[in-house]
Amino acid sequence: MNLNETPQTATGGPAIVLVEPQLGENIGMVARAMANFGLADLRLVAPRDGWPNEKARAAASSADHVIDAARVYACLAEAVADLNVVLATTARSREVPKRVLGPREAATEIRRRESEGQAAGILFGRERWGLTNEEIGYADAIVTFPVNPRFASLNIAQSALLMSYEWLQAGLAEGELPTRFAIPATDTTPAPKAELVGLMEHLETALEPTGYFRTPEKKPVLIRNLRAILQRPGFTTMEVRALRGVIAAFQGRKARAEHHEES
């Protein structure tokens, strides 16, 4: 996915396939999770309450582009017919021998398959009992989440969010952030000496009428100390301009105060 794309125009990524989802609210929360991480292909297999579903739209919290594009299928076979690789989110099943992946490993594999031009999908089961062994049979591998074994229950929206997050993370370089959160590059080149001298002279001019220099004898030493302080940080041009703006603001305030006293 191009991180400069808006969520509404982002394309690519795995299809999120919900098998017989029962509550419209859960479908909506899955759509919201998908939109958060740039996914848009939502497929619904025989949703219990039919489709479209206004409760789903309300719960999607403005992820309308995902809701509007959602496709409904009568059976799982139809929903995954165009996919080259399918992963099923479920607890490990002894009855269905499949390769078992963690969410991060699964997301990395999806990215690799996508780079080879393969279409991928992730299956999520019913809220109450998940996927059947027959449905898991459509998958190339199982995805199991590393959760607290004493409280291992995740709803489908949580599961979809985890997989969507890992898919986005798998497409970023180490330490990279999506464009929206990245810190913009700034010019850290030190300002030319002429600009720094101008700042120093501006500060000296502003301080002169305040009595800061106390006596003519102490002025050269105080000026030298101030210049040493201003040289140390390596101010950029923008920083020099900002500091001169601060000085000018104080000068303007003092001039207005003096004018008020005279009037």
**How many Å apart are CA 6 and CA 258, to the nearest integer?**
54
Measured at the alpha carbon of residue 34, what is the angle toward residues 149 and 24, in degrees to the nearest 5? 80
Has residue 133 got a pLDDT over 50?
A: yes
Has residue 255 got a pLDDT over 90?
A: no
Using pLDDT thresholds of 50, 70 and 90, give the confidence band for residue 254: low
DSSP letters of 92-156?
--SSS--EEE-HHHHHHHHHHHHHTT--EEEEE-BTTTB--HHHHTT-SEEE-----TTS----H
pTM of the model: 0.65
Using pLDDT thresholds of 50, 70 and 90, give the confidence band for residue 105: very high
Tens digits of residue pLDDT in 185-232: 667 888 899 999 999 999 999 998 888 888 888 899 989 998 899 888
Question: Are 21 and 47 within 8 A, CB to CB?
Answer: yes
pLDDT of residue 3: 37
Parse the chain into domains and list their residue ranges.
Answer: 15-170, 193-262
Q: How does the average pLDDT of the chain come out, rounded? A: 86
pLDDT of residue 80: 96
Measured at the alpha carbon of residue 50, what is the angle toward residues 45 and 51, in degrees to the nearest 5? 85
15-170 topology per CATH: Alpha/beta knot (3.40.1280)
**How many Å apart are CA 168 and CA 96, to the nearest integer?**
29
Measured at the alpha carbon of residue 111, what is the angle toward residues 107 and 114, in degrees to the nearest 5? 135
